[in-house]
Structure 1
Amino acid sequence: MTTIPAEASAPPAPSPESRPDPERPKKRRFPWAPLALLTPALIMLVVFIGWPLVQLVIMSFQEFGRAQIFGAPPEFIGIDNYVAVLTDPEFWAVLGRSVALCVVSVIATMLLGVAIAVMMTKLGTVMRTAVSVSLLLAWAMPALTATIVWGWIFDTQYGLVNYVLTQITGENWIGHSWLIDPTSFYAVAAIIITWGAIPFVAFSTYAALSQVPDEVLEAASLDGAGGLARFRLIVFPYLRSILLVLLVLQVIWDLRVFAQIYALQSIGGVRAETNTIGVYIYSVSMASGDLGAGGAISVILVVILLAISGYWIRTMLKEEQ
């Protein structure tokens, strides 16, 4: 029997040129596959959002009125539209009312949405299904339809609210208008906006609550932690990121609200005293025919929303790091 020397059976040693250099950085390939998958969505964003936004910015630096709508060439006037808007007291009054309505609506929406989501985790299957269907019906109803229904509820002569208040208090509330006074007008608007926004917050929070480990909650309960303590110390850290995203979305949506305010004004509100920034842009652009000033207000609103979103997103990224 012939024996093979150990030197002959061993594989050849790699040459120095073929050995990988640990100090040499590896050449990374460009991720073409993700880019190819994102391309259709990027094209849609550029066509339907990017290009109109560019046109809006250009229009805000032009004198673009009724004459330009019918074909006259627009005239470049620089920042005159921005100066006129920023020096107009009505703009600041409308912006202040919009911010106040946004703050009230967002706080109410977040608190009630989270409370309903927590309640759904404690309900049985039948009741949870009933609550989910109710939320879906409220969420599926268009904003204009919901506003008309709520307008009937607060109707001056035949509204349910005036009838119930008359029966409870013994005073005659029939004939009381909730939309003439700006304060009660915005109270009704906040109810409608909050009612339509709660389902999104509730469903999103309920989905996040399902990711909280039951073992951790049981251990905290055995250690004597109460319900509020468990929510604050255990549940809330799991919900922080999703709640931050929901907060940013609600601020964006409520600050530029249009349909609910415009419909309530058509039902009985005083337009000059109840305009929000969305309706104000429409009034300046369409009713007055000054598309240049309307474009300037829109750009200012976009800048405000980008600043708010950028701040909260940066805060969220810092917390994750």
Structure 2
Amino acid sequence: MSAAETTTAKVPPARRDPRPGGESGKPPKGPGRKRSAGQAAVPWALLAPCLLALALVLGYPLVRLVTLSFQKFGQPQLWGFKDPESVGFDNFTKVLGDNEFWTVVVRTVLFAFTAVVLTMVLGMLIALLLQRVSGWVKTLVNIALVASWGMPIVVAITIFKWMFDTDFGVLNWLLSQLPGMDMIGHNWFASGTQGLAVIMLLVVWGAVPFVVITLSAGLTQVPKELEEAARLDGAGAWGVFRHVTLPILKPIIVMLATLSVIWDMGVFPQVFVMRGNHPEPEFQLLTTYSYDKAFVVNDYSQGAAIALLTVLLLLGVIAVYMRQMLKIGEVE
């Protein structure tokens, strides 16, 4: 046998790559590739009508809001006697340089923060309580929660106005039945602190049902085995809640807290209607303050600037929410 033949005989035959695409390992070209691309486009095609509706409903008002905030736009421009004038950042300079605006911002943040804390604490307590009551009691409580949640906001405001009325309020009458208390004729809206506290109770009352129902659903996903193991290790009720229940519910709590902040910072009808469509300065929140600037003072450009600053503030809250959710995803 020759040397060439010997060398040829020793070379093992080439093995075929078992991966799709043969030796190169590349996926085969053909109709299968096109189908996968088409399948990837199906969700976007299904979402297209919704995205178009959102662009029409939210996109145009947002663009118009941004445009107004950089213009001089008042009554003459509204009726067409004058053309809108571009003023750059003048509206934002005036708003940010106004001490009243910063007072309203602080009041709004404190109002939203307190309302969110009360909503989350009460919602969690009620949700935990519902896990320990009998079935028919739980059903009755859920019916009451859904009924209060579905009540129109104007009806709820009317009920609260009657409850806290100076002359005929049932709360003043009930408090006056306590020894040493005379609340007959007490005006809860004589001061901004007490009046905002009443409005905050109304906001919390309307928000608690959603929190309770959501947390109750989350509590059903907490493994009972983990709770039993924690009790066997000597953990009490607070220890089980802190080390077992709370970490599992953390994504839901973060979501609910963020949504509550957004909703509570956007409170408008509760303040506007409760104060007879003319909120006093000590009752002004960012939403009503922007409304007054635009439609009472007829300075639409400053009202738009305040509304845009509110949107930016809420976007900051959403950014914090997204960061927290990403951290939770990384841990999991």
User: TM-score, structure 1 length as denominator?
Assistant: 0.90
Equivalent residue of 2:177, what SS? helix
Q: Closer, same or farther in 2 for the Cα pair 1:20/1:141, shift >3 Å?
A: farther
- CA 1:169–1:262 in structure 2 vs 1: closer, same or farther (change >3 Å)? farther
> Which residue of the partner structure matches residue 147 of structure 1?
157
Contact preservation (8 Å) 1:180, 1:270: no
Question: What residue is the counterpart of 2:88 in the other structure?
Answer: 78
| Distance 1:15-1:186 versus aligned 2 partners, 3 A rule | closer
Task: Report the CA distance between 1:22 and its aligned residue.
Answer: 4.0
Q: How many residues align?
A: 309
Instruction: Return the alpha-carbon distance in structure 1 between the equivalents of residues 45 and 279 of structure 2.
Output: 52
Instruction: Classify 1:15/1:274 alpha carbon distance in 2 versus 1 (closer, same or farther; 3 Å).
Output: closer
Deviation at 1:24, TM superposition (A): 8.1
Alignment partner of 1:199 is 2:209: yes
Partner amino acid, structure 2, of 1:225: A
Asked which structure has the greater RCO (Cα within 8 Å, sep 6+), the reply is 1
Residue aligning to 1:4:
none
Pair 1:224-2:234 in alignment: yes
Q: Distance in 2 between matches of 1:86 and 1:200?
A: 35
Correspondence list, 1:14-33, <5 A: 19-22=22-25, 29=37, 31-33=40-42
How many angstroms does 1:23 deviate by? 7.5
Give the 3-state SS of the residue equivalent to 2:37 in structure 1.
Answer: coil
- Structure 2 CA distance, aligned partners of 1:83 and 1:180? 33
Q: What are the Cα deviations for residues 47-96 of structure 1, in whole angstroms up to 9, with x where unaligned?
A: 10112101110111011111122124211111111011111111111111
Of 164, 169, 182, which aligns to 2:192?
182
Residue in 2 that maps onto 1:40: 49
The one-character-per-residue Cα deviations of 1:13-38 (angstroms, maximum 9, x if unpaired) are 85999515347899773610111111
User: Residue 237 of structure 1 aligns with which residue?
Assistant: 247
1:136 maps to which residue?
146
Distance in 1 (alpha carbons) for counterparts of 2:99 and 2:301: 18
Where in structure 2 are there 5+ consecutive unaligned residues? 1-14
Query: Which digits, 9 at most, give the CA deviation of each residue in 1:113-169, with x for residues without a partner?
Result: 111111111111100011101111110112222111111101101111111111103
| 2:224 corresponds to 1:214 | yes
1:87–1:15 Cα change, 3 Å: closer
C-alpha separation in 2, matches of 1:310 and 1:15: 48
- Secondary structure of 2:24's counterpart equals coil
SS of equivalent residue, structure 1 residue 122: coil
From 57, 64, 67, the counterpart of 1:58: 67
Unmatched runs of 5 consecutive residues or more in structure 1: 1-12
Q: TM-score, normalised by structure 2?
A: 0.88
Contact 1:179 1:264 (8 Å CA) reproduced: no
8 Å CA contact 2:192, 2:283 repeated in 1: yes
Query: Where does residue 287 of structure 1 map in the other structure?
Result: 296
AA aligned to 1:48 is: V
- CA distances 1:238-297 after superposition (whole Å, capped 9, x unpaired): 100011011110001101100111122118x86122111111111111111111111100
Name the Cα RMSD after superposition.
Answer: 2.3
After superposition, the Cα gap between the structure-2 partners of 1:20 and 1:288, relative to the gap in structure 1 and judged at 3 Å, is farther
* 2:272 and 2:279 in contact (8 A); partners too: no
Question: Whole-Å Cα distance in 1 between the matches of residues 254 and 159 of structure 2?
Answer: 31
Question: 1:221 Cα deviation (Å)?
Answer: 2.3
The separation in 2 between residues aligned to 1:157 and 1:48, in whole angstroms, is: 44
Tell me the amino acid that sits aligned with residue 160 of structure 1: V
The alignment partner of 2:22 has SS state of coil
